A and B are shown apart, each in its own frame.
Chain A
């Protein structure tokens, strides 16, 4: 254990020495010591958990499944801790703060997903599974073939999700406290490896529980502070939100020309109405399908059901998870709208364009603002919870990928299930180490890359490949090896292939065009006459950019001529020219009131200059990065598949191919084992028992 001690010390030291790398983040330099103290305390707690868990992690069942001794309630909290990733905790609050209703609507699918988990997956998996998804598929099918495919799919899904988490985590920590991206990624990686390698599933479970409790506590405190001034009345509170000038300004900005004819009240009310962010209902349904069916196929979620002693405990754990996850998303409605009203969408987007800083900035505001001790303590606390979130989610993913590698591939396929118990544990630890190092490497290599689509892709692959296979092998007698292999491969390839040609990828032409707009301005647009609505030519045209397709367009009212917009250089020259005049005015100002007004103007002009300079630098960077390129990595100038999420096509395809493959081949073993599988999944006879202690 001395190595563990050393690791603990170095991890805490990493937290403390972080100050040396401090650049600029949301936390002011003078308060950074406090952030690092809070980080240090949370890291120390999780390390203590790991130390305690490591003492009882010796067998394979202990390493992968915490000895099946986690209670239903504990597992419910751990599922919530595993699931509420930084994307859902910071991301959804951010979406609500910038786009209102649509952000909240987006959160619903993440909870509804658990109904599938509860009704069709959790209990059967507990009753017939052992450590991995591969075990479930191998029950009545060819073990070596299905374990190989299941392991490949598990590793694919985990790697996509892991990369998104590592990159998101690195950026988040840099934005919050200014630690270098690479150091954040390595720090997250080392901590997560310590939990997984030494403490296995037990340490991972308790780190997830700790994180979920911290997250829920922090959110309840923030919501209490936001909502209590309105006597906990929903209409009164939302009345204040829609009446807020910042919120109205944001809606006007999002609506563009259409906002011209709206009153401030209408603009505010629009914040609570759909359509500011999610504009394509077919894409939403596609995403909804991927969420609702993909969650139940996520290997790190499936794996959580092997940690409880019985199917009843698995049921209890989903019920608790649904209470915690759903309750949390209801709280984000208040966090998001509260941040919009109190901090302002402009400021939130200026720190992070995706809105990820809404929660942390709200905490800082509620504690007393940027220069207050309490405000910065609260910011530090929320930042530390975000950090704990990333390591907890990453630990769960690494464990899932490592179990596929060690248990399915090495023990199941290479050693033909003849490995000694000791060998299995060593294989599990070595595989965790390998996956961890891969995660860190990929995280560093993917710096600055567009990874937002990877989370959606992970869910789409899980829904198109894992879920059809698991679902049909559990509930359909005729399902067999050929069907599963065919369905999983086609489901995965279709999901990935469609995303590669979707709007999620970077298309240099569009990037270059928008960069040029920033730098050179836009020419004047002549006045347009009213145009009638256009009908789309066919449904397929909503999905693919085919020749001769006409997309639906609502009727357009006549619009007046729009003047040309200046480029960045022109804007800067104009703003800079204003400065000497304002400064001269300030020197001459007679009354304190006048002085204050001019000072405010001056500050605004300086802020505008900084914003234009930032946009200009970004546009120049983009131009340099994509110079000479005209196509995406797939050789396309613009997306061919028009949805951001492939689920609508790849999920039915995955199901269909499992069915076809099974119908056209016969597999005696799959049929013979059906009775046993069906009786066992419903009764729990012969289920893997909890270990003695």
Chain B
């Protein structure tokens, strides 16, 4: 699998790669933790906060139903936020590293 044309340890230690690594780690873990917490609020709320979930807020539509619908919206928003960030920032940072590698700067 290994290809000797690249010195991976040098690329890994490059400040540009380290910057990409830090940004990505922080951003991805943040989104991941938020999405898991938000998801588990649904079964926990349905089981232990029945009164809140059963409160009617819009005609017969209760809080629980709106909260379940919000799970979909939140999942889509996370996907959108991630792809925006990745398309605008991570891809450009990775491309710079690739250019440096190809031109022999790293």
Residues of chain A at the chain B interface (Cβ within 8 Å) = 101, 104-105, 108-109, 111-112, 114-116, 118-120, 138-139, 234-236, 238-239, 242, 269, 272-275, 278, 281, 284-285, 288, 292, 312, 315-316, 318-319, 322-323, 326, 329-330, 673, 675-676, 678-680, 682-686
Contact = CB atoms under 8 A, between A and B. Distances in A.
Contacts of B91: 312
B60 A119 contact: no
B51 to A, nearest CB: 10
Interface of B: 1-3, 6, 8-9, 11-12, 17, 20-21, 24, 28, 31-32, 35-36, 39-40, 42-44, 46-48, 50, 53-54, 56, 58-62, 64-65, 68-69, 71-72, 75-76, 78-80, 82-83, 86-87, 91, 94, 97-98, 101
Top 8 closest pairs, chain A to chain B, by CB: A235-B59, A281-B47, A274-B46, A676-B8, A675-B8, A284-B43, A675-B12, A112-B39
A271 to B, nearest CB: 10
B98 A115 contact: no
Nearest to B49: A274
Given A322-B75, A323-B76, A105 B68 contact: yes
Given A675-B11, A682-B24, A274 B50 contact: yes
Nearest to A243: B60
Contacts of B32: 115-116, 119-120
11 contacts: A101-B46, A101-B68, A275-B47, A278-B43, A281-B44, A285-B40, A288-B40, A318-B79, A319-B83, A676-B6, A684-B98
Nearest to A312: B91
Contacts of A285: 40, 43-44
A119 B36 CA distance: 12
A326 B72 contact: yes
A686 B44 CA distance: 45
B50 A235 contact: no
Contact of A288 (B3, B12, B43, B97): B43
A118 B82 CA distance: 9
Query: Which residue, A114, A274, A322, has most C-beta atoms of chain B within 10 A?
Result: A274
A330 B69 contact: yes
Contacts of A278: 43, 46
Contacts of B83: 315-316, 319
A661 to B, nearest CB: 22
A114 B48 CA distance: 26
Contacts of B87: 312, 315
Given A288-B39, A288-B40, A235 B61 contact: yes
A676 B6 CA distance: 9
Contacts of A112: 35, 39, 71, 75
Contacts of B21: 678, 682
Given A108-B39, A234-B61, A273-B64, A686 B75 contact: no
A326 B71 CA distance: 10
A322 B79 contact: yes
Nearest to A329: B72
A162 B48 CA distance: 36
B39 A119 contact: no
A154 B79 CA distance: 27
Given A115-B31, A274-B50, A105 B43 contact: yes
A273 B60 contact: no
A686 B6 contact: yes
Nearest to B30: A119
SS of B interface (majority): helix
A104 B68 contact: yes
Contacts of A675: 8-9, 11-12
Contacts of B12: 675, 678-679
B2 A673 contact: yes
Nearest to A291: B39
Contacts of B54: 273
Contacts of B50: 273-275
A306 B84 CA distance: 23
A234 B58 contact: yes
Given A238-B59, A330-B69, A678-B12, A281 B64 contact: no
Contact of B46 (A120, A281, A673): A281
A108 B72 contact: yes
A682 B11 CA distance: 11
A570 B61 CA distance: 44
Nearest to B46: A274
A685 B98 contact: yes
Contact of B31 (A105, A119, A239): A119
Contacts of B71: 108, 111-112
A235 B1 contact: no
Query: Which residue, B2, B36, B65, B97, has most C-beta atoms of chain A within 10 A?
Result: B65
A322 B98 CA distance: 30
Given A115-B32, A119-B31, A269-B60, A686 B3 contact: yes
Contacts of A119: 28, 31-32, 82
Query: Which residue, A275, A676, A684, has most C-beta atoms of chain B within 10 A?
Result: A676
Contact of A118 (B17, B39, B79): B79
Contacts of A242: 60
A105 B42 contact: yes
A272 B11 contact: no
A308 to B, nearest CB: 14
B75 A238 contact: no
Contact of B20 (A109, A138, A269, A682): A682
Contacts of A105: 42-43, 46, 68
Contacts of B43: 105, 278, 281, 284-285, 288
Contacts of A322: 75-76, 79
Nearest to B44: A281
Query: Which residue, B2, B56, B98, has most C-beta atoms of chain A within 10 A?
Result: B2
A322 B80 CA distance: 10
A235 B58 contact: yes
A286 B40 CA distance: 10
Contacts of B79: 114-115, 118, 318-319, 322
Contacts of A139: 1
Nearest to A268: B60
Nearest to A135: B1
Nearest to B53: A274
A278 B42 CA distance: 12
B60 A272 contact: yes
Given A235-B58, A675-B8, A685-B98, A273 B53 contact: yes
Contacts of B61: 234-235, 238, 272
Contacts of B72: 108, 111, 326, 329-330
B59 A236 contact: yes
A684 B79 CA distance: 21
Contacts of A109: 39
A329 B2 CA distance: 44
Nearest to B48: A281
A150 to B, nearest CB: 15
A673 B1 contact: yes
Given A115-B35, A315-B83, A683-B11, 12 more contacts: A101-B68, A111-B71, A111-B75, A116-B32, A272-B60, A273-B50, A281-B47, A316-B83, A318-B79, A675-B11, A676-B6, A683-B97
